[in-house]
Structure 1
Amino acid sequence: MFRPSPRIASGLLAAAAAVFATLSVQAPAYADDVYLCTGPNGVPEYRNSGNVKGCKKLTLPDVVTVPGTRSPRSAGAAPAPAQNNAGGGFPRVDNATQKARDGERRQVLEAELADEERKLQALKAEYNNGQPERQGNERNYQKYLDRTAQLKGDIERSQANVDSIRRELGNLKD
């Protein structure tokens, strides 16, 4: 195995550090010039160098940045006092209003459940235990198989929806 002398090793180390320092100088995050070039198929291309035939330099306006404004709260103003707020800053709702909302939610969920169950029954009837009736446009057997697979997936999604709605109804407070 080759081992350089300490003097050569320190010289190599210094050269490597100089190369690394030169490469690590950060370039700006934007290109100064933008060129519009015509590609091989006539498609316009934007480049940061115009060293290809058919490129022309674009004159673009400078980027303008607008500093944000500070809100009164972030500027050091005292926060407004909480009015009828429990922890977390959420307004409190009295029990009668909450019971009315829960009742409305229950009615909506029960209506959705009834609709989804009707849909599920219709899909199961059409699926006919994996042997749906062939339609006139299904001369090709693959179309029939595709529709059968689609029906099976629809049944699984509808059953998952029914289960989810029932779970939501079970989570409601009486």
Structure 2
Amino acid sequence: MLYFSLGAAVLAPLAVHAGTFYKCTGASGKILFTNTQQQGGKTTCVVLFQQREPPGAAPSRGRHDRSPRASATPTPGDFPRISGNEQRARDGERRAILEKELNSELENLAKARKLAATAGASPNVQAQRDTAALHERNIKALQKEIGNLR
């Protein structure tokens, strides 16, 4: 029994992967949902979801595996296809929408910074700073999305 317990303790960290999600509760009662089990302290974690590998499947190599692989379910022959020109038009529309959203976020950021600067020592200065930080994060996300376009 002792060997079984030691073996389980050694192999347990190997079983944890990105497909496992936990609900962890800290000593203060704060709840955290995460894909990594929290260690130490008075934190208790419960597995909410664990992705199982199909029998005979190779172990997952994580996000850095960029090797091509066959689709689990092949595309049916009668699946609708679109032309390259139509896809380029859709991509152009998407870029235009993202750029419009980016310009809107830039304007909102400028307004939020102006309000934060004029708030001085008022009680809502932190709310204005939080709003400006939100717009900054949105801008970074939109720039990243635009950079990912073909």
TM range (shorter): 0.3 to 0.5
TM-score normalised per structure 1: 0.40
Structure number with bigger Rg: 1
